[in-house]
Structures are given as C-alpha cells and as structure tokens.
Structure 1
C-alpha cells in the first residue's frame, strides 16, 4: 500500500511539474520565439537547462523549507504527500478554468499549513516570515516598476531596438570545412543587442522558475519519510518541466500568452528582471513565493510610473492642487502613442503576429520630455489590465491558498 501511494505521489508530482513547465516555458521564451530569435525546440531545451540550474542550486533551499521546515519532515507520510500534491494540482486546474495564473507556491504552502494545523506541528514563526515576504515582495515589485517607469523607461524605449526577423537571427554557415554561426544579414548592431537581451533574460526567467517551482512539484516526496532524496526530487521536477516544455508549451509559444501579448517587449523584459530577481533572492533565503504575483505587481507599477510622468511629485502628492493639464494615471500608459515622432518598442504580440514595429526617426535619438511637461507624449487609453480583471486575479490569488488550507485541514484531520 505504501509503495502504491508513493508511486501515485510521483505521478502527481510529474503532472504538477508538467503543467508548470508548459506554462513557464511560454511565458519566459514567448518573446524569443515570437520574434524568431529561437525555435520552439531550442526554447524548450534552454528552459529545461536553466530551470535545472536554478532548481539544483537555489531551489534546494525552497525544497528544504517546504519539505521539513514548515512542518517536520516526519509528517509527510505517503497519504499526506499525495494530499498536498493533490491540492497543488487543483490550483493549476482552477487557474486554467478561470484563466488566472494562480500561485502554485502559495497554494502548495496553504496545503502544507493545513497539514501542520491538523497535526499541531506548524512552525508559526516561519509562517509569519513567509506571510511577511508574500506582502513585501509585491510591494517591492510595484515600487521598482513605478520608479523605472517614471524615471528610466522612456530613455530605454528610445535606445533599444527589437525586431522580428523573417529568418532566425543566428544561422549556421556550412559553406566551409568548419560550420560557423553567423548573424542575420539584416540585423543591425542595435538589433543584435536587443535580441541578445531577450534571450538572456528569458534564460534568467527559466533559472528563477526552476528555483521557485521545483519545490512545488516534489517537496512532499523529499525528506526523511519521503521516497525521494533531494537530488532525485530535483531531477524528477526538471524532467517534468522539460516534458511540459517540449509538448504543451508549443501551443503556449504559438499564442505567446494572453497575459503578455499586448505588453511592450521592453516592459516585458524589465518585468522579467525585476520579478525574477525578487523570487531568486527569496528562493535563496528558502522562502517559497509567487513569480506571477511579483511580475504582475511590477507591470502595474511600471504602467503607473509611466503615466505619472505628466505630473510632478508635488502635483501627485497634493490632491487639492489642480495641475495645469489633465493627468490620467493608468497602466495602459505602457503602450505609448504610435505617432511617427513618438518611438515605442513593439508589443510581444506584434512580434508574434509578424506586424512591423514602429519606425524610429532617422535623425538621431529623440529627446525625452521632462517630467511634468504639458507636451508629454499622448498615452494610449487602452488599459493593459482591466480593473475588474485585476480584482478577479487578486481575489483568486488570495482564495486559492485559502481553499487549499480549508480543504487540506479537514482531510488531514480525519485521515491522519
């Protein structure tokens, strides 16, 4: 019976990792594949390799926390392990049904907390630390996004180029005795720099995803009572990630993902760096946290900061003060007007659909309007995040771990 439950636990872990790999590959490498910098197979291979690197190094700390620190490792009996993985898998099902990137990390922790409460073994001090990190991390992501959007984003927007090539950026020249890689002849130096950034940051996102998500798939199976060692758990998780990356991720890479399609590619890269860095730091500290939550808060902050360039800090901090011009604060500010004299980076969707990005002026890099200027570029009123959709996303982020807790607690109270 124990052997059967262990086998079921391994299968459920593979299912969880399979779904994580499928979704994370599309999010990390969607811009690279959409702009024809990489083929789908290459993207899946890079994701698997860097996810393994993240899981094997930083991810061990998160596995240790979730397998033996929130509750003692001895509590993860075969039944408990299958139960925790079941509720983690259910979070993926809920996110697919409602189209919301639910936090697998938060839901897995919620299920483990239910186990700890049912058995009276919950490490309350550690849970306070984890809950504090869940509050602070999104706030840090928002502040970073707001500062970058207000003070840095416009300058980067005018100096970094992103292009969709008709053929791959790098191709192999086999005309000589030794095959040599060569860049696409139509690529300028700015194109090569921008394209290299897209691929490098995608690999960084894969590293961060591996560091934070490996524990979600295998932590209950690792430890003194589990059937797997930490090394075996990492290998199983990465195998499942790769399986999802080479199969179901192909569809995600085709559509690039609804959450990032209309996001300017420069903004997508900034969000990836900020969100990935926050989660990597937390993973190094052994704290399970949500990459989706941090990146979304960074997107909202980036749009808010971009929109508020039309007002000074004094005008924003003084509600009763009426500025000389109307100031509209909306996340849609990331998608600037596409007039010929207002350069902006193409969206991820533009590159994936093959639409031409806006032309940059030939007479040098245009100047950036100062903060508070009335002639600041007109902003696109279309919001990247509908307020109602944001409320639904945040509500489900809060509900999914609570539902896992509410479901696991009575189950473990009865079964264990």
Structure 2
C-alpha cells in the first residue's frame, strides 16, 4: 500500500511540475519568443537548462525548508505527501479557472502548515519568518516598480526600443548531417545587444523559477525519504521541462496573464525585479511566489509611470479640478510625445508581439533631452488604457489570500481525520 501511495505521489508531483513548466516558460520567454529572437523549442530548452541550474543550486535550500523544517520530516508519511501534493495541484487548477497568477509556493506551504497544525509539529518561528517575507516581498516589488516607473522608465524608454525581428536572430540549419547554427547578418549590432539582453533576462527568470518551484513538486517526497534531493530535483525539472515543451506553446503564444498587455521594456523590468526578489528569498531558503512579486511590480510600475503627471507636492494635496486623477496604465508605459507635440507610436506589447499584430520595426526612438520632467506630462497621455482596474486587483489579492488559506484549512481537516 505504501509503495502504491508513493507512486501516486510521484504522479501528482509530475502533474504539478508539468503545470509549473507550462505557465512559467511562457512568462519567462514570452518577450523573447514574441520578438522572434528565439523559437518556442529553443525557449523550452533554455528554460529547462536554467531551471535545472536554479533548482540544483539555491533551490536545494527551499526543498530543505519545505521538506524538513516547516514540519519534521517524519510527519511526511506517504498519505501526507499525497495530500500535500494534491492541494498544491489544486492551487494550479484554481488559478487557471479564475485566470489569476496564484502562488503555487504559498499554497504548497499552506498545505504543509495544515499538516503541521493537525499533527502538532509546526515550526511557528520559521512560519512567522516566511509570512513576514510574503508580506514584505510584494511591498518591495511595488516600491521598486513605482520608483522605476516614476523616475527611470521614460529615460529607459527613450534609449531602448524593442521590436519584432523579421527572421529569428539565430537560425538552425537542419539540412546538414550535423545541425548548424547561424546568426542573421541583417540584424544591426544594436539589435543584437538588445536581443541578447532579452534572452539573458528570460534565462535569469528561468533560473529563479527553478529555484523557487522545484520544491513545490517534490518536497513532500523528499521529506518522507521516497526521493533524495538530487533525484527529486531531476524529477521536478523533468516534469517542468515536459510542460515547457508542450502546453507552454500555448502560454508562449498568449504570454501569460499578468504581462500580456505590457510593453516589452516594462515586461523585462518586471521580470528582472520579480526574479531578483525570488532568487534572494530562495537563497535564504524561503519559498515565495514569483507570480505575486511580478504582479506587484506591475502595479507599482504602472502607478509610478502614471504619477509623473504630478509632482510629489501635488500628489500630497487634493487633485486640482483641471487635472484628472491618476490611473495606472499600460498607455502610461508608452513613449512620450515628441517636442513638436506629435505622438509617436506606443511601445509594442508582449501580447501584440506574440500575436504578430505590430509592425516589424519599433519607431519609438527619442533622445533623453526630450523626456518631460515630472509634473510636465499630460495626464491624458498617461491614461490611455488601464493596466489594471480596482476590481481586478481586488480579485487577485483576494485569491492570493484565499487560496493558501483554503489549503491550510483543507489540509488541516484532512490530516486531522487521517492522523
């Protein structure tokens, strides 16, 4: 019976890893694939390599935390392991049904907490530390995004342009006996540097995803001794890779829920900030959500960019009748108007690139001396299209709290009955 439960646990772990790979690959490599810098197969391969690197290095600390420190490893019986993995898989189902980037890490930890409460083995001090990190990390992401959006984004937007390449940057010639790689000679050196930056950030996000998510798939099985950490990592990354090469093709086309409407530059900023926060937390052994950090950064970035219409002194006072209220927008993340008052084309979004709806070249170039100062930009130019609305934001935050809470309660009741 125990062997059968372990096999069921492995199957559920593969299911969890498969879904993680399907969603995370699209979010990480959406900009690179949408811009035709790499193909979907290449994206899947690169994501697998860097997810394995992240899981094999600092991801081990997260596995240790979730497999033996939140609760004692002896508590992870085969039945308990299947139960924890079941609630982790359930979180993926809930997030997919509601279209919300819910946290697999938070829900997996919630299931372990329910197990610890039912068995009286919960490490309360460690959970306090983890909960504190879950509160601080999104706040840090919002603040960083707001500062970048308000003070740095217009200058970055004027310096860099990300468009859609006519042909892939690197092509694979499969006509020969041994496949050969070739670089498109028609791509300008500046575009090559920009393309390499896009791919590098995507690989970095893959590293972060592997470091934080491998534990979600296999920590219970490592805790009960069914798998050693090395084997568990290989199983998790193998399942993640399977998802990256299969269902990720759809997420690479639609490019995820939370960054589809973002310009390429904004998506890269959000990816870098979110991945850095999660990498630091993983290095500390704290399981945390990449989706929550990146979404929080989107909120901060949109608000910060829109807030440039007013100075800090004006923000601190009631909004004048002649200035409309601020709205965090994707339109606010587009290029500023030119000196002659003519609008330039807005930056292509990740979703538009993935769907092929933008021109081949991005024309939103401007020199840094044309960037309006804070308080000089037209609020109407910054409020063209909503990045998020209060209702959607409230729904996302509510599910961030509700999903782990349901996991805690459900796991607690389940393990209380079978204990």
1:192 aligns with 192
Asked whether the 8 Å contact 1:157–1:343 carries over to 2, the reply is: no
Tell me the CA shift for residue 262 of structure 1. 1.2
Map 1:345-384; keep pairs closer than 5 Å. Answer: 345-354=347-356, 355-356=358-359, 358-360=362-364, 367-373=370-376, 378-384=381-387
2:97 aligns with 97
CA distance in 2, matches of 1:414, 1:265: 50
Tell me the CA shift for residue 31 of structure 1. 1.2
1:387 corresponds, among 360, 385, 390, to 390
2:300 aligns with 301
Tell me the CA shift for residue 234 of structure 1. 0.5
1:249 aligns with 248
1:63 aligns with 63
What root-mean-square deviation, in Å, do the aligned CA atoms of Structure 1 and Structure 2 show?
2.4
Asked whether the 8 Å contact 1:264–1:334 carries over to 2, the reply is: no
1:331 corresponds, among 309, 326, 329, to 329
1:403 aligns with 406
* SS at 2:285 equivalent: coil
Tell me the CA shift for residue 180 of structure 1. 7.3
* SS at 1:331 equivalent: coil
CA distance in 2, matches of 1:290, 1:335: 25
Change (3 A) 1:332 1:375: closer
Change (3 A) 1:86 1:341: same
Tell me the CA shift for residue 298 of structure 1. 0.3
Map 1:140-179; keep pairs closer than 5 Å. Answer: 140-171=140-171
Tell me the CA shift for residue 358 of structure 1. 4.5
For structure 1, the residue ranges without an aligned partner over 5 or more in a row are: none
Tell me the CA shift for residue 380 of structure 1. 3.9
CA distance in 1, matches of 2:378, 2:220: 57
* SS at 1:369 equivalent: coil
TM-score (norm 1): 0.93
Alignment of 1:271 with 2:275, yes or no, is no
115-124 or 329-338: bigger deviation = 329-338
Tell me the CA shift for residue 102 of structure 1. 1.2
Tell me the CA shift for residue 195 of structure 1. 1.3
Change (3 A) 1:64 1:187: same
Tell me the CA shift for residue 336 of structure 1. 2.9
For structure 2, the residue ranges without an aligned partner over 5 or more in a row are: none
CA distance in 1, matches of 2:175, 2:23: 39
Tell me the CA shift for residue 366 of structure 1. 5.5
CA distance in 1, matches of 2:18, 2:180: 35
Map 1:202-241; keep pairs closer than 5 Å. Answer: 202-223=202-223, 225-241=224-240
CA distance in 1, matches of 2:346, 2:88: 40
1:26 aligns with 26
1:313 aligns with 312
Alignment of 1:12 with 2:9, yes or no, is no
CA distance in 1, matches of 2:180, 2:403: 50
1:130 aligns with 130
Tell me the CA shift for residue 343 of structure 1. 5.8
Asked whether the 8 Å contact 1:261–1:347 carries over to 2, the reply is: yes
Asked whether the 8 Å contact 1:267–1:334 carries over to 2, the reply is: no
TM-score (norm 2): 0.93
Asked whether the 8 Å contact 1:310–1:374 carries over to 2, the reply is: yes
Change (3 A) 1:200 1:60: same
* SS at 1:171 equivalent: strand
* SS at 1:23 equivalent: helix
Asked whether the 8 Å contact 2:263–2:350 carries over to 1, the reply is: yes
CA distance in 1, matches of 2:104, 2:204: 20
Tell me the CA shift for residue 182 of structure 1. 4.6
1:114 aligns with 114
Tell me the CA shift for residue 376 of structure 1. 7.3
2:259 aligns with 260
Asked whether the 8 Å contact 1:369–1:376 carries over to 2, the reply is: no
Aligned length: 413
* SS at 1:161 equivalent: coil
